[in-house]
Structures are given as structure tokens and as C-alpha cells.
């Protein structure tokens, strides 16, 4: 009979690295039933009958987020034989809070005390035998990154899984033990975890035992709160930390501990004055290497590969095979040009993904979230919002879904609406194209800065509306120790991101390229046209183009590129590539835009509503269709206004059309001021819950 192992731990405790080391390549990824949060499972190396499940990283088993609910339900209801609790040995006090909850579940538990290598460097000593005795389960020192102690961990875990579980009772105070015993008797249970959750007034567990309106339970809790002079939730938290403090004091010797390398580095990297300049410098260097220096060389090579080696050879082959001219044009000028135009940027993307993965794996990106939290909080926004936005730099879809970890519904909805303003991977080829034609790497970095600035401004505006108003939620972030990234883990991350980009080029962009070619090759009476100006695509673009004329790109080519971007943002590049028949892509783009209108176009693409996949995810995650439509309208309005200000402001700076520019700018500023004033005036006390408040609507 097989054994099921669950890996549980705090974020940044080395849990994912541990999972990869234990399972190797014998793993597969899916979704938890009913939700789209990733589920990783695999077979323990050398044991095909042992399944390992990597559970979401959490700080506690209180069901406040989707991750906590999934983990708790899995541990309580699924057929788990043993739990491996990964604990960051360098931060024992913080990590043991989750451990104390797991120990009460009456499940076999093994503690993997991780980061052994860091402990040795910092000269911190932990009495493993005493720790094991105090918490009542085996404790194994490990280093998941260096695969140290894993063989012993596997051996002990298998042994523990085959033994009956001994119930563990934490050394609570007399009042707590007395209250728990009464609750166990009332609910007819022996499980300590359930008893604690009932005392903690957990709604889910209370309903499970049908005690929602039980007066005896209310009396027990009320008496317990009188004895502790606080509410039951706070009393339980204080109890846990008292027990943890006792355990740490008895087992950890940090008298000769050295200042860690992480602490030394953080004195510089998260310094209140240097943090932002260093972050900007790092991002500039990343984009300079990825897009301008090394990246530009790769683009030239890829263009030659698709245009000459593939394009011309395929054209010659088809001509020799007497294939119809329209079919040759479809394959070479449509499919190869469209898909190849996007794949041209794959090497640049790989280099960029490599740098971003290295920054994530070393622990620096967690510091970026910490830095941005300090900025967000000054503007009344939740620091929790930046984590989904950070994830959204890869793709907006997982970034939007990551907002599920935000408990407050208003902050969650606000984050979902603002996350697409941060540049995702799909927008990078567009930026790379325009940077190559008009600008340097600073233009790419400025897109990130513009996204962050717009997030803050838009967030402040929305926070002053009735729906999104209220107090910001608290933000807790564990800053991991700096460490050298795992080569295997980094390459795996780069491959996953690059593979997703390539698959999209081979599917969505392939289909879009065929459709674009048909629309630009035929007129409405379905006759092939020699001039693109007479095509269906041109007529559609010319009809809509006047809308974008004030933004500087009122030509039909730019308009249809915007329309095709809703299928996938990369389609902007493939659209220009298909339309640029006979000339290089860079030359063609330089005829459509000036540097000023090109920058306004980049800003519009950055801030406009995201692709259909992201919009579909927004619809699922937001509480109503009405709010989804508001989000789309708000994103389009913001994109239009920012692009308008960039282009018209640039024209004013260049002393051309000064009077119209001034008038338009004044109208926009006055209009925005009136909206903000109206929203602030009608905000009332949306964050107030006093029944006698005159602003509150019953």
C-alpha cells in the first residue's frame, strides 16, 4: 500500500526546493479541484509507491486565504499518511507558529529543519534532541539547496508513516486546557486541533459540528475570555507564542551568532535612501544587456534566420512546386512573417527571464516587494497588492489569480484592476521593437516606472470612491536569506516561461497571423488586392483610427495592431511584420511613428485592457460582471489619457500646436479634478461601520 506525504511550510522556507529534490523529474502539475491554484505532486525518488504533494506556502492554518483553506482541507480530509513540515531554522520563532497548529492535527509529523548551511555560517546552534523532545516528533537538519540530510529525512518519514500517531498536547495554561476539555466533551471529539478552532470561534469548524448557536459553547468561550481579559482569538495566539518562546529559549544558542551576510547586504539594498536608486540601476542593467547589447545581436541573427534562411527558401520551394501565388504569400508573408516576427524576440526574452529568475531565486525580488510596500502604504494602498503585480510581470493571468491571497474583498478587487498596468512578458517584444527603432534601454525601464506610478495614482483615485474606500489591510512579508540560486531551478523557471511564450506564438499568434493576412490581402468583395490600403483590414482601421489621432498614432496600421493585441499582446509585432512586406520591420515602424508618438503608443499598450485570457480571468475573479466592465472601461480611459498627455505634452514642449495642446490639457486636468472631487465628496464613511453614522446607507 502506498504512502502519501504532504509538504507544509512558510513561504520562503525552501519548500519548493525540497519538493524538487525529493521528486526529481517524477512530478506533474495540475490544479486543486474547483480552484485554479497550482497543485504539484510527484513520486519520491526511488519509491514509486510514495506520493509527495507540495502544498501552498502559508503562515498559519487559519482559513483566511485560498491557500490556507486548501492546505487545511487537504491535511484534515485527504488521505495523508505523514506531514513533512519544512521549517526555516534561521527564523525558528516565526516558523514554529504553523508547526504548533500542525502538531495538534493528530497526523504523523516530521520536522525538516532547513537551511543547515546558513546556520553553520551564522554560528547558531540548535539542540535537535531537545527540540524533538519538546515538540514530540522527529526533527531532521536539512539543506534542501545542497541536498544534505534528505536521505535521512526520507528514511525517518517512511518509518513515521507506518507507526500509529501519538496525540500531542501543547503545554497550554490551566485555563486553556480546562476550556479545551469542556469543548471536547461538548462536541464529542478527541482532536485537539478542532477543539482549539472551536475555542477560536472558527465559523467553518463551528458549522461542521453544528454548534453555531450553542449556548454552552458560548458560555465556555465567554468565561475563557473573562479569565484572560481578551478575546479568545488573541488569547490563543498569545498562548502559542508563549510556548514557542519557551521552546526557542530551551533549544537555540545564538549567543555567538554572527551578523549574517543577508543582514549586511540588506543594510545597503533596502536602505531608505539607496533602495530605489539601486533597484532602478539593476533594472537598467538587466534591460541594457537583454535588449540593447547582447539582445540586439540575437535579434539580428533571428531576423536573418526567419527572413532569409526560412522565408526565402520556403518561397523558392513553393514556387518550384507550382503552388498558387496566394498560398505562397499566406505561408511566407503571413504565417512565417507573423509568427517569426514574434519568435525573433525569443532570445531577448530568454536573457531577460534568466536575469529575473536569478533575482527571484537569490531573494532580491522579495526585497523589491518590501520596498514597494513602504511606498504603497504612504498612498493608502495595501502592500499585499504588490505581490500579485510582481507575479504579473511574467503574465497577468497568474498575477490576477494571486490576488486571492488578499483577504479584504475591496483590496482584492482593486489589485485585480491595477495588476495589468504592470508590464507582462507579452508586452516586452513590443517594447523591444520600439527601443530598437527609437530609444535606448531607459525607455524599457521607464515603462515599469510608468506602470508603478499609474498604479499608485489610479489606486489613490479608486480608493476615494465608495466601493473601494476603507482601511488598508495589513501586510506581512517574510524576507528570505540571500543564497546562490540553484542552476537547475533557474533553468527550469526560464524554460517554463520561454515555453509558454513559444507555445503562444505557435497557437494564438499563428491563428491571428492567418486572419490578419486574409484581412490585409482581400477587399470586402473577396478579391485579392495589390495595395494594402484597399483591404478589409485597412477599411476597419481607417474607420476606428480617428479615435487615436489625438494620441499621435491615428494611422490605420497602428489601429489594427491595437485591435489584434487583445488576442495576444505579441500580435502587435506580428501585425506590423505582416504589413511590412518588402521592407525591414524596423524601417516600417519608423515610417508609422515618430519617437514621440512611438512612446505614446508604448504607454497605451502598457495601460490598455489586457488580452482576452486576462480579461476572462478578471471576470472570474471579480465579484460581478458590472465591476469587470468598469475595470475594462477604467483601464482604457487611463491608457487613453496618459498617451494623450505624453503626445500632446511632447508637442507643447516642441513648441508645435501650442494653443490646442494647452486647451486639451486644461480640459483633461479640469475634468479629472471634477471627477476626483465628486468621488471624494460622495465617498462618505465607506470604511465606517458605526450604525449611527449619517453617511452610512442601511
Average pLDDT, the chain: 83
Per-residue confidence (pLDDT) for residue 683, from 0 to 100 = 43
Strand spans (E) along 36-172: 38-43, 50-54, 82-88, 109-114, 125-126, 139-141
Q: Each residue of 636-663: pLDDT tens digit?
A: 999 999 999 999 888 877 654 445 545 5
> What 3-state class would DSSP assign to 173?
coil
85 or 681, which is more confident? 85
8 A C-beta contact, residue 662 and residue 652: yes
pLDDT digits (tens, 9 = 90+) for 130-189: 999 999 899 999 988 888 899 999 999 999 998 877 667 788 999 999 999 999 999 999
Q: How sure is the predictor about 670, in pLDDT bands with cuts at 50, 70 and 90?
A: low
State mean pLDDT over 275-295.
83
Query: For position 667, what pLDDT does the model report?
Result: 59
What one-character-per-residue DSSP string does 619-632 give? HHHSS-HHHHHHHH
Per-residue pLDDT, 695: 37
Question: Could you tell me which residue, 251 or 260, shows the higher pLDDT?
Answer: 251
Instruction: Lowest mean pLDDT of 204-208, 478-482, 610-614, 678-682, name the range.
Output: 678-682
The closest alpha carbon to 558, from 505, 611, 520, 601, belongs to: 601
pLDDT at 558 over 90: yes
Residues 236-250 have a mean pLDDT of 92
Measure CA 446 to chain center: 21
Q: What per-residue confidence (pLDDT) applies to 288? A: 83
For 328, residues 6+ apart whose C-beta sits below 8 A from its C-beta are: 315, 318, 319
- Orientation angle between helical segments 625-653 and 612-621, nearest 10 degrees: 130
Q: pLDDT tier at 26 (50, 70, 90 boundaries)? A: low
**Local structure of 661: helix, strand or coil:** helix
Q: Would you say residue 30 has pLDDT above 70?
A: no
pLDDT score, position 110: 95
- Specify whether the CB–CB gap between 75 and 8 falls below 8 A: yes
* Mean pLDDT to the nearest integer, 411-438: 90
pLDDT exceeds cutoff 70 at 425: yes
Q: For residue range 95-114, list pLDDT tens digits in order.
A: 999 999 999 888 899 999 99
Q: What is the pLDDT of residue 616?
A: 87
Residue bearing the bigger pLDDT, 85 or 37: 85
The pairing of beta strand 82-88 with beta strand 3-9: parallel
pLDDT tens per residue, range 57-94: 888 887 667 778 888 888 887 678 999 999 998 888 88
Q: Please state whether beta strands 50-54 and 3-9 pair in parallel, antiparallel, or not at all (unpaired).
A: parallel
Please give the pLDDT value at position 478: 65
Q: pLDDT confidence of 684, banded at 50, 70, 90?
A: very low
pLDDT tens readout for residues 180-219: 999 999 999 988 889 999 998 888 889 989 998 899 999 9
DSSP state of 533: G
How far apart are alpha carbons 696 and 698 in whole angstroms?
Answer: 6
Structure confidence by residue, pLDDT tens digits, 617-632: 899 889 899 999 999 9
Q: Is 394 exposed, middle or buried (0-12, 13-18, 19+ CB in 10 A)?
A: buried
Phi, psi dihedrals of residue 489, rounded to the nearest 5°: -65, -40
- d(Cα 277, Cα 259) in Å, to the nearest integer? 25
Q: What's the Cα-to-Cα distance from 232 to each of 206, 235, 343, rounded to whole Å?
A: 14, 5, 58
**How far does CA 582 lie from the centroid of its chain?**
41
The reported pLDDT for the residue numbered 693 is 40
| Contact (CB, 8 A) for 621 and 664 | no
Residue 513 has pLDDT above 90, yes or no: no
Which pLDDT score, from 0 to 100, does residue 664 have? 52
| Residue 13: predicted pLDDT | 86
Lowest mean pLDDT among 336-350, 477-491, 669-683, 684-698: 684-698
682 pLDDT more than 60: no
According to DSSP, the residues that pair with 140 across neighbouring strands are: 112
Domains of the chain with CATH codes: 3-161 (3.40.50.300), 174-253 (1.10.287.1770), 277-487+597-681 (no CATH)
- Tell me how far apart the alpha carbons of residues 69 and 494 are, in angstroms, rounded to a whole number: 30
Q: Which of 291-295, 533-537, 590-594, 648-652 has the highest mean pLDDT?
A: 590-594
Degrees to nearest 5, angle at CA 525 with 524 and 528: 85
On whether the pTM is more than 0.85, the answer is no
pLDDT for the residue 181: 93
Supply angle C-alpha 410, 413, 415, rounded to 5: 105
Residue 188 region by backbone torsions, left for phi larger than 0, else alpha for psi between -120 and 50, else beta: left
Q: What is the pLDDT of residue 475?
A: 61
Would you state the pLDDT for residue 647?
Answer: 92
Average pLDDT over residues 250-268: 81
**Residue 686: pLDDT band by 50, 70, 90 thresholds?**
very low
pLDDT at position 156 is 95
3 state DSSP class of 278? helix
Q: Across residues 230-255, what is the average pLDDT?
A: 90
pLDDT of 374 higher than 80 = no
Nearest residue to 283 via CA among 125, 441, 140: 441
Of 377, 305, 289, 370, nearest to 343 by C-alpha is 305
Which has the minimum average pLDDT: 376-385, 486-495, 545-554, 638-647?
376-385
Q: What is the mean pLDDT of residues 236-260?
A: 86
**Integer Rg of the chain from CA:** 29
Tell me what percent of the residues of the chain surpass a pLDDT of 70: 88
Amino acid at each position: 500500500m502506498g504512502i502519501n506525504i504532504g509538504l507544509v511550510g512558510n513561504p520562503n522556507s525552501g519548500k519548493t526546493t525540497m519538493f524538487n529534490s525529493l521528486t526529481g523529474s517524477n512530478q506533474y502539475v495540475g490544479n486543486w479541484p474547483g480552484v485554479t491554484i497550482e497543485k504539484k505532486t510527484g513520486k519520491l525518488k526511488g519509491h514509486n509507491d510514495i506520493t509527495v504533494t507540495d502544498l501552498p506556502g502559508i503562515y498559519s492554518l487559519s482559513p483566511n486565504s485560498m491557500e490556507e483553506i486548501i492546505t487545511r482541507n487537504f491535511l484534515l480530509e485527504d488521505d495523508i499518511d505523514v506531514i513533512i513540515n519544512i521549517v526555516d531554522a534561521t527564523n525558528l520563532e516565526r516558523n514554529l507558529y504553523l508547526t504548533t497548529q500542525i502538531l495538534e492535527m493528530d497526523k504523523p509529523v516530521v520536522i525538516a529543519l532547513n537551511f543547515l548551511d546558513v546556520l553553520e555560517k551564522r554560528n547558531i546552534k540548535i539542540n535537535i534532541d531537545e527540540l524533538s523532545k519538546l515538540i514530540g516528533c522527529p526533527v531532521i537538519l536539512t539543506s534542501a539547496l545542497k541536498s544534505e540530510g534528505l536521505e535521512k529525512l526520507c528514511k525517518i518519514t517512511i518509518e513515521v508513516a507506518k507507526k500509529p500517531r501519538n496525540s500531542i498536547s501543547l503545554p497550554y495554561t490551566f485555563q486553556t486546557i480546562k476550556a479545551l476539555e469542556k469543548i471536547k466533551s461538548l462536541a464529542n471529539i478527541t482532536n485537539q486541533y478542532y477543539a482549539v478552532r472551536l475555542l477560536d470561534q472558527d465559523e467553518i469548524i463551528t458549522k461542521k459540528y453544528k454548534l453555531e448557536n450553542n449556548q454552552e459553547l458560548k458560555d465556555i468561550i465567554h468565561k475563557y475570555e473573562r479569565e484572560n481579559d481578551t478575546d479568545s482569538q488573541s488569547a490563543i495566539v498569545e498562548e502559542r507564542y508563549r510556548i514557542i518562546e519557551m521552546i526557542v529559549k530551551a533549544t537555540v544558542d545564538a549567543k555567538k551568532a554572527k551578523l549574517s551576510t543577508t543582514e549586511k547586504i540588506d543594510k545597503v539594498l533596502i536602505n531608505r535612501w539607496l533602495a530605489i536608486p539601486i533597484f532602478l540601476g539593476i533594472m537598467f542593467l538587466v534591460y541594457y544587456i537583454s535588449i540593447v547589447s547582447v539582445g540586439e545581436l540575437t535579434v539580428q541573427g533571428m531576423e536573418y534566420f526567419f527572413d532569409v534562411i526560412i522565408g526565402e527558401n520556403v518561397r523558392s520551394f513553393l514556387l518550384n512546386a507550382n503552388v498558387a501565388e496566394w498560398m505562397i504569400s499566406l505561408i511566407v508573408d503571413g504565417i512565417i512573417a507573423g509568427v517569426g516576427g514574434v519568435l525573433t524576440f525569443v532570445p531577448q526574452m530568454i536573457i531577460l527571464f534568466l536575469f529575473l529568475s536569478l533575482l527571484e531565486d537569490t531573494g532580491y525580488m522579495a526585497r523589491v516587494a518590501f520596498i514597494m510596500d513602504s511606498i504603497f502604504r504612504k498612498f493608502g494602498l495595501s502592500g499585499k497588492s504588490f505581490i500579485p503585480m510582481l507575479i504579473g510581470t511574467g503574465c497577468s493571468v497568474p498575477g490576477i489569480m494571486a490576488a486571492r491571497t488578499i483577504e479584504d474583498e475591496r483590496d482584492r478587487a482593486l489589485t485585480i484592476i491595477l495588476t495589468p498596468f504592470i508590464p507582462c512578458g507579452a508586452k516586452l517584444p513590443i517594447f523591444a521593437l520600439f527601443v530598437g527603432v527609437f530609444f535606448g534601454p531607459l525607455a524599457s525601464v521607464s515603462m515599469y516606472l510608468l506602470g508603478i506610478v499609474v498604479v499608485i495614482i489610479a489606486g489613490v483615485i479608486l480608493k476615494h470612491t465608495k466601493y473601494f474606500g476603507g482601511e488598508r489591510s495589513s501586510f506581512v512579508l517574510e524576507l528570505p536569506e540571500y543564497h546562490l540560486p540553484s542552476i537547475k531551478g533557474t533553468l527550469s523557471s526560464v524554460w517554463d516561461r520561454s515555453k509558454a511564450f513559444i507555445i503562444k506564438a505557435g497557437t494564438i499568434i499563428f491563428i491571428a497571423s492567418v486572419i490578419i493576412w486574409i484581412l490585409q490581402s482581400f477587399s470586402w468583395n473577396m478579391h485579392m488586392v495589390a495595395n494594402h490600403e484597399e483591404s478589409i483590414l485597412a477599411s476597419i482601421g481607417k474607420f476606428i483610427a480617428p479615435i487615436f489621432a489625438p494620441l499621435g498614432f491615428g494611422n490605420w496600421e497602428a489601429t489594427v495592431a491595437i485591435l489584434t493585441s487583445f488576442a495576444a499582446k505579441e500580435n502587435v509585432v506580428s501585425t506590423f511584420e505582416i504589413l511590412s512586406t518588402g521592407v525591414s520591420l524596423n524601417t516600417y515602424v519608423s515610417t508609422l511613428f515618430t519617437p514621440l508618438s512611438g512612446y505614446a503608443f508604448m504607454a497605451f499598450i502598457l495601460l490598455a485592457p489586457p488580452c482576452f485570457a486576462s480579461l476572462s480571468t478578471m471576470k472570474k475573479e471579480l465579484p460581478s460582471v458590472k465591476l469587470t466592465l468598469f475595470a475594462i472601461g477604467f483601464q482604457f480611459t487611463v491608457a487613453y489619457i496618459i498617451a494623450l498627455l505624453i503626445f500632446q505634452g511632447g508637442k507643447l514642449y516642441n513648441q508645435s500646436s501650442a494653443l490646442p495642446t494647452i486647451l486639451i490639457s486644461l480640459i483633461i486636468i479640469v475634468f479629472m479634478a471634477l471627477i476626483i472631487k465628486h468621488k471624494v465628496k460622495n465617498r462618505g464613511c465607506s470604511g465606517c461601520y458605526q450604525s449611527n453614522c449619517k453617511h452610512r446607507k442601511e
